Each structure stands twice: as structure tokens, then as C-alpha cells.
Chains A and B, each alone.
Chain A
Amino acid sequence: MIGVALAILLVLLAVAVPVAGAMGMLALALNTLYSKLPLSLAMGEMAWATSNNFLLVAIPFFVMLGEILLRSGMAERMYNALVKWMPWLPGGLMHSNIAACAMFAATSGSSVATAATIGTVALGEVKKHQYSERLFLGTLAAGGTLGILIPPSINMIVYGVLTDTSIPKLYLAGVIPGLVLAGLFMLTVLIACLINPGLGGRRVTASWDERIKSLPDLLPPLIIFLAVIGSIYAGLATATESAALGVVAALAICAWRRRLTVAVLRQVFEGTMRTTAMVMAILVAAYFLNFVITSIGLTSQVNRAITRLGLSPYELLFAVIVFYVVLGMFMETLSMMVATIPIVAPVVFAAGFDPVWYGVIMVLLIETAMITPPVGINLFVVQGVRGHGKIEDVIIGSAPFVVTLLLMILILIAFPEIAMWLPKLAAG
């Protein structure tokens, strides 16, 4: 049964059937092959239940929040302010890139949006200050991945819904690892620049007066972060409600900057709903597929097969990590999540690992997938912003950060408290 399911899925995906269609087809095929009950009768009811799941409403809210912020000019101002504050380290602006990504990540639930936004703002600076282009590109591709680790995070919502894990807890668990990872990224830049001082460009200087004046530009991201994450932490709002507050705050900032027009709203609507429909199509199909594979006992069969291997919990965990690192090189990340989590996560939980902690590990693996060739969406985004030269430059520039990400995963395995401390504190 396992082999047949895997074979059907791989063939459908390999011949480029849209992921949502492939999952639906696999579900129908498995139903015909292994179940006497016509499970497809439940398709209408399940599609409706999935499409109006209140937890998932957070997804269009975060997409919309990003679309509005993109058009509010917040990122430009924030970046320029950070440039004034962080020029003194060896590696100069590359640290500002990572800091700007981390700060933008605190308002954005998407890594692609983070890399595209900060990349567009930052890339003009490469030539101006004679940086090594490769490492500079790497800081943008890798820094961008922080978008889904530092809350809010669309990927954490999807993980939370697929595994029945508390989204507020996942958010809190992402905060410290996000900051630690941003710190490690900066450390990576620092080490690279100490080894080869030629990598860092000319330093930018700013007076204290300029620095103080730039501070108000850091306020809008802070407001969004407080609206979205502060409201959850203060017990004011659920995960979805906090996302709604984020949309309201973003709208207010956009209006205050006098950029809120009908044309902008129309663009926001179109961008938001295209992405939403695409993501939801996959989730609706994935829900039905999960229902079928649970009904025909495939999940428990996978569980038994893995138990028979007699792996220790940590051997299992490392096998899972290797699996995702390899798969992540070739597969688009959302498809990878919905196709594998329903099968793999229960096995990992059964081995005694905490769902919240594993959620953070999963996000780190997805971040790795985003900057590993040949298919790494952030590599493409940064190359797209750059608009000249070869993608190999971005790949080589990102390589040190892949090592950093893997190191971060090991650190989190050795010290799970880095992720678990905040959620435990909040739970009292």
C-alpha cells in the first residue's frame, strides 16, 4: 500500500500535474483500490469545512498584510534607518541586510516576500560601496528565510493546522530561534569578512544626529509586530484575530503615508486572492487526501513499518532531517509540507518529540530548502531582483548560510529549550 501510494504520487508530480490535482487524484485512486466505502462522497462537506476553517483565515490576512506593507514604503525607510545604525561591524551593510530581514520578518509571514522586499531595497548598495556581490546576495537570500521563522508565519499556520498544534505556541517558539539564527547569520558574515577582509565593502558613516532622526522610521514595523504578536501574547486575540489586527494596522500605516488609493487596493485584492486560492486549493485537496489515507490505514501502516526498523528516536530524527534536506533541494516548499507532514509528523511525535519543538525544526528545514539548489525559491527571487549575472553567484553566496542553518538545527536538537522556553513561560 505504501509503495503504491508513493508511486502514484511521484508519477503524478513528475508529469507536472498541479499539486492540488495530484493529491486529489491520489486520494481518489487510493479510495478505489483500498476502501469499500465511497469516501469521495465526503468531498463536498470536507471542501466546505476546510475552506471556512477559521484558523486558515489567517493565511489571506497575512498575504494581504504583506501586499499592503509592500505598497506602504515601510521597508525602504526601515532599511535606510538600519543602515545608519549598523555600519561599524566588519561586513557593514551585510549586517543591515540581515537585521532588516529579521525586522521585516516580524511583520511578514512569508520568506519570499521578505527576500523580495529587502532585496529590492538593498541591492542598489552593492556597487556603491564595493561589496563582494556573492556574499551580499547570500545575506539577502538567507536573511529572507527568517520570514517564516520569526512570527507571524504562514508555514507555521499550515503546520499547526495539519498537526493540530497550537499556532500561538508555535509563534512563541519561533521568536528566540529566529533571533539566534539572525545572530548566527551575522556571525557567519563576520567570520567570512575576518578571513577575507576583501569581502566587506567600504563602511558607511552616520552621525548620532542622523541616527536619532532615523528612529521614527523603525516604528511602523514595531507597530505591526505589537498588533500581531503582542495581541496574542497579551491574551487579547487568537492567532487569526491577531492577523486581522495586523491588516488593520497595515492599512492605517499605508493611509498615513498617503499611499492608500483605489488602484492600490485593487492590486492588493488581486495579489492576495490569487495566492490564497492557490494555497487553499492545495490545502483542500490535502485534507481530503489525509482523510482517505487515515481511513484506509495507510498512516498506521507507515508507522508500523518505521517502528519495525527499530531506529532510536534520534536516529529517526536524523533520518527525517536528511530526507527533508534532500527533498527540499527539488521540491517547492508548500507542496513538500502538505505532502509529507501528515505522514512524517505522527511518526516523529510517536518517537516522543514535542510537536511545537518539531514545528520549529520543520520551519528551519523549509528555510534550508529555500536556499538549496537546484530548486530554491529565495535563490530565484534574489537573482530576479539582481537582474544580471548568473544564478551561481547567489547559490555560492548562500552556501555558507546553508551550513549555518544546519548548525542551527543541531543547536536546537541539543538545546530544545531555545524554542520551548517562551511557550512554557507563557503557559505558566
Chain B
Amino acid sequence: MGPLFALAQTASRFGLWLGGALILLSALVIGVDVVLRKALALSVGGADELGGYALAIGTAWGLSAALLDRNHIRIDSLYLLFPDWLRAALDILGLLAFSAVFGLIGWHAIGVVDQSLTAGSRSMSALQTPLALPQGIWLAGLGLFLAVAALLLVRALTMLGRRDVVGIVRLIGVRTAKEEATDEVRSAEAVHMRIGGEERRS
């Protein structure tokens, strides 16, 4: 179970980098496109389309990391009042509901890709992208999400078997708005301190 979990974490991190790189790349292509269009009345063509694919692929490949890091928003007003065992039960229920919805989306997404493949659909643009290509990568991201969700579920249920409710809450529990805020602050502070240090040295 341990190595599998580490693999899930590595794959999810890779998903974030893939999505981030695609988003940055499409920002650059769109930026160049806007400048060329105005300055030389030229267009790269299809820059918008690439941005759309980057978002779809980035979203699908980022879902599992967001799940592992407990980033998906949950309303915790009542949750915080509950005892640990109830929280743990709700955590498992929440994970189930979330994965069920995106599992169903993934299931129907297979149909979407399949249809693009059989019809040989291409985008209606200068690029004429075979749609199955971006859709396929998108579907693979959803697949990674489901695999990670299943792994988390198995892990949580094993913990339930051991009556390790605290472990469950730590694995898939709600990150409270306060935790969320603390993270935001930590990254701002890390930058602040690094810059402060540099300025004192210079």
C-alpha cells in the first residue's frame, strides 16, 4: 500500500506540472498571437483553442492532487462540531459522493472520446485538431483521479477496520477555512522573508 500511495502522489504532482506548463505555454502563445495580430495583422491561429485544451487537461490532471491535498471545498460549519467518528464517516461519504460524480463524468467521457475517434472529428479551426487527442489526454487525467480516489477509499476503509478515526480525518478530512488561510499566509510569508533577507544582504 505504501509504495502505491507514493506513486499516486508522484503521479499527481506530475499532473500539476503538466497542467501548469500547458497553461503557461498557452498564455505565451496567446500573448504572441495578440501582439502579432495588432502589429503585423498576422495570426498564429488556434491560440484560443489551445488555451481551452490546456484548461481541460490541466483541470483533469489536477483533480487528484487537489484530492490528496484536501483542497476540494467542503462546508465545515457543522462538521467541526461533530465527534471524530462521525467526521470520519462523513469523510468517507464525501469521498464516495465526489468520486461517484466524477466517476460518472469519466464514464460518459469515454463515450465522448469514442465518438470523436469513430467520427474522426476535427476542431472547426485552422488547426483542425483531431479532437480525440486532447480529449484522450483529458480522459487519462480523469482516470488518474479515479485511481487515486479508489486508493484513498481503500486506505480509509482499512483505517476504519483498525478503528483509526484520527488517521481517516488526517487522510481525507476537511481542511478548514483556517487551515486554508494559514497556507495562503505561509506562502506569502516565505516570499516576504526571502526578499527581506536578500535586501539586507544587498
- Whether, in the assembled complex, A284 has its beta carbon less than 8 Å from a beta carbon of chain B, the answer is yes
B90: chain A residues at CB < 8 Å are 15-17
B104: chain A residues at CB < 8 Å are 24, 28, 40, 43
- Do A14 and B78 touch across chains, with their CB atoms under 8 A apart? yes
- Whether, in the assembled complex, B73 has its beta carbon less than 8 Å from a beta carbon of chain A, the answer is yes
Given known contacts A245-B34, A277-B62, A54 and B48 CB-to-CB distance under 8 angstroms: yes
Complex interface residues of chain B between 13 and 41 (CB less than 8 A to chain A):
13, 15-17, 19-21, 23-24, 26-28, 30-31, 33-34, 38
Among A12, A245, A248, A274, find the residue whose CB has the most chain B CB atoms closer than 10 A: A274
A251: chain B residues at CB < 8 Å are 24
- Do A384 and B94 touch across chains, with their CB atoms under 8 A apart? no
- Whether, in the assembled complex, A117 has its beta carbon less than 8 Å from a beta carbon of chain B, the answer is yes
- Do B52 and A25 touch across chains, with their CB atoms under 8 A apart? no
Q: CA of A51 to CA of B58 in the docked complex: distance in angstroms? A: 9
Given known contacts A16-B76, A272-B23, A57 and B109 CB-to-CB distance under 8 angstroms: no
- Whether, in the assembled complex, A217 has its beta carbon less than 8 Å from a beta carbon of chain B, the answer is no
Of the candidates A24, A270, A271, the one whose C-beta lies within 8 Å of that of B101 is: A24
- Write out, one digit per residue, whether chain B residues 97-129 have a CB within 8 A of any chain A CB (1) or not (0): 111111011011111100000000000000000
- Do B52 and A53 touch across chains, with their CB atoms under 8 A apart? yes
Given known contacts A19-B75, A44-B108, A330-B77, A273 and B97 CB-to-CB distance under 8 angstroms: no
Complex interface residues of chain A between 48 and 107 (CB less than 8 A to chain B):
48, 51-54, 56-57, 59-61, 64, 70-71, 73, 76
- Identify the stretch in A127-135, A305-313, A331-339, A343-351 within 8 Å (CB) of chain B at 4 or more residues: A331-339
Complex interface residues of chain A between 318 and 373 (CB less than 8 A to chain B):
330-332, 334-335
Shortest Cβ distance from A42 into chain B, in angstroms? Answer: 8
B4: chain A residues at CB < 8 Å are none
- Do B17 and A269 touch across chains, with their CB atoms under 8 A apart? yes
- Whether, in the assembled complex, A380 has its beta carbon less than 8 Å from a beta carbon of chain B, the answer is yes
- Do B73 and A241 touch across chains, with their CB atoms under 8 A apart? no
Shortest Cβ distance from A348 into chain B, in angstroms? Answer: 24
Shortest Cβ distance from B98 into chain A, in angstroms? Answer: 4
- Whether, in the assembled complex, A240 has its beta carbon less than 8 Å from a beta carbon of chain B, the answer is yes
- Write out, one digit per residue, whether chain A residues 18-55 have a CB within 8 A of any chain B CB (1) or not (0): 11111011001000000000001111110110011110
Of the candidates B91, B94, B182, B187, the one whose C-beta lies within 8 Å of that of A21 is: B94
Shortest Cβ distance from B197 into chain A, in angstroms? Answer: 11
- Whether, in the assembled complex, A427 has its beta carbon less than 8 Å from a beta carbon of chain B, the answer is no
- Whether, in the assembled complex, B72 has its beta carbon less than 8 Å from a beta carbon of chain A, the answer is yes
- Do B76 and A116 touch across chains, with their CB atoms under 8 A apart? no
- Whether, in the assembled complex, A1 has its beta carbon less than 8 Å from a beta carbon of chain B, the answer is no
Of the candidates A56, A61, A266, A277, the one whose C-beta lies within 8 Å of that of B63 is: A277
- Identify the stretch in B151-159, B160-168, B172-180 within 8 Å (CB) of chain A at 4 or more residues: B172-180
- Whether, in the assembled complex, A175 has its beta carbon less than 8 Å from a beta carbon of chain B, the answer is no
Q: CA of A25 to CA of B77 in the docked complex: distance in angstroms? A: 20
- Whether, in the assembled complex, A303 has its beta carbon less than 8 Å from a beta carbon of chain B, the answer is no
- Do A48 and B24 touch across chains, with their CB atoms under 8 A apart? no
- Write out, one digit per residue, whether chain A residues 153-176 have a CB within 8 A of any chain B CB (1) or not (0): 000000000000000000000000
B192: chain A residues at CB < 8 Å are 76, 120-121
Of the candidates A48, A121, A330, A384, the one whose C-beta lies within 8 Å of that of B185 is: A384
A14: chain B residues at CB < 8 Å are 75, 77-78
- Do A54 and B20 touch across chains, with their CB atoms under 8 A apart? no
Of the candidates B79, B111, B185, the one whose C-beta lies within 8 Å of that of A120 is: B185
Shortest Cβ distance from A122 into chain B, in angstroms? Answer: 10
Given known contacts A57-B55, A272-B23, A380 and B195 CB-to-CB distance under 8 angstroms: no
- Across the A-B interface, the 5 shortest Cβ-Cβ residue pairs: A269-B20, A44-B108, A277-B62, A24-B101, A52-B52
Q: List 18 A-B contacts (CB under 8 A).
A: A14-B77, A17-B90, A18-B73, A22-B97, A24-B100, A47-B109, A51-B138, A57-B26, A71-B191, A273-B15, A274-B71, A275-B71, A276-B55, A277-B19, A281-B63, A377-B180, A380-B178, A385-B188
Contacts A70-B187, A270-B17 supplied; 6 other A-B pairs, CB < 8 Å: A17-B97, A21-B97, A51-B60, A272-B20, A274-B65, A384-B185
Interface residues in chain B, defined as those with a beta carbon under 8 Å from any beta carbon in chain A: 13, 15-17, 19-21, 23-24, 26-28, 30-31, 33-34, 38, 48-49, 51-56, 58-63, 65-66, 69, 71-79, 90-91, 93-94, 97-102, 104-105, 107-112, 134-135, 138, 174, 177-178, 180-182, 184-185, 187-189, 191-192, 195-196
